[in-house]
Structure 1
Amino acid sequence: MEYYASSPEEYIRQLPEERRIIIAKLRDVIRENLPEGFAETMGYGIEYIVPHELYPPGYHVKPEQPLPFISIASQKNHIALYHMGIYMQPELLSWFREEYPKHMKTKLDMGKSCIRFKPAGTIPYELIGELSRKLTVTEYIRLYERETAHMKKK
């Protein structure tokens, strides 16, 4: 099921109760730990972005959109957390993969930037908080520019 909302609060209100509690807690954890400069907005779920004021070029695929960093969403069969830093920084991905079993008994279910939590109640909030702190806006922009420069060379 897709949810359409103009604010994170509206998005959360639309969710079934179990999902509402989980997404609200994930949102709180990310907001409490995210370095200064990132902004919360709505897109494909609740998104944390680098605003155009800090990075005028925006997202290379759609420059009119701000640079995405983290997003959380309630999907049909799981809760999804997308973290673009994990996608672009192998050291961060390795760290996360090593830390995950220290926090969870469930197997890590992950794509390139997507971490899927099934059943929805199995979320390592403390680890997500730590992950949220790992990159500042400046570090993320530097990483993003390095990665998009590599893409242009291919």
Structure 2
Amino acid sequence: MARSEAVTVETYLAALPPARREALAAVRSLVLRHLPAVYEEAMAWGMIGYGVPLSRYADTYNGQPLSYLALAAQKNYLALYLTCVYMDPVREAALRDAFAKAGKKLDMGKSCLRFQTLDDLPLLYLGQLVASLSVDAYIRLYEKARRR
């Protein structure tokens, strides 16, 4: 399931095989427990997305809500997309360090963490990372990165 046509998160999750659904639902639960106020969950780009609503910040390059993070079931792996890590070398270094300290193998693209099971992830650190940026702080980070 690379790109989904699901309109709701529930429909997206229901379409997954049980093991993948359970793992993605567990990461979703972690995200929802730690997600700062104002960010909204919605289907975006065929994935479960979390972003800044346009009513709060409309000056995005594509006219879509500013993406904070996303979850997806790709063809060969599950993915947690962390835009805040992609835009911030300090956060990326901290993420790499958290994986090393937890003894976990980091499988990462520009902004995505690829995983098969929950055991592949340092969940405590990821919860802290999700909680680490208020909407205002994230907008400042986005605007700084956009000026580069």
TM-score normalised by the chain length of structure 1: 0.88
Tell whether the 8 Å contact from 2:85 to 2:111 is kept in structure 1 after alignment: yes
Q: Give the partner amino acid of 1:99.
A: A
Q: State, as a whole percentage, how many aligned pairs show the same letter.
A: 39
* RMSD (Å) for aligned C-alpha atoms: 1.3
Residue 26 of structure 1 deviates from its aligned partner by 0.6
Partner of 1:112: 110
Residue 102 of structure 1 deviates from its aligned partner by 2.4
Residue 133 of structure 1 deviates from its aligned partner by 1.0
- 1:94 and 1:123 map into 2 onto residues whose CA distance is 16
SS at match of 1:4: coil
- 2:43 and 2:103 map into 1 onto residues whose CA distance is 29
Q: Give the partner amino acid of 1:69.
A: Y
- 1:8 and 1:125 map into 2 onto residues whose CA distance is 21
Partner of 1:83: 82
- 1:46 and 1:3 map into 2 onto residues whose CA distance is 10
- 1:26-65 matches, within 5 Å, as 26-43=27-44, 44-57=46-59, 59-60=60-61, 62-63=62-63, 65=64
Tell whether the 8 Å contact from 2:99 to 2:121 is kept in structure 1 after alignment: no
Segments of structure 2 that go 5 or more residues without pairing to the other structure are none
TM-score normalised by the chain length of structure 2: 0.92
SS at match of 2:72: strand
Q: Give the partner amino acid of 2:117.
A: A
Residue 53 of structure 1 deviates from its aligned partner by 1.1
Partner of 2:94: 95
Q: Give the partner amino acid of 1:67.
A: L
Partner of 1:148: 146
Partner of 2:24: 23
Is the alpha carbon distance of 1:104 and 1:9 closer, same or farther for their aligned partners in structure 2, counting shifts above 3 Å? farther
1:131 to 123, 129, 132: 129
Q: Give the partner amino acid of 1:98.
A: D
- 1:42 and 1:136 map into 2 onto residues whose CA distance is 21
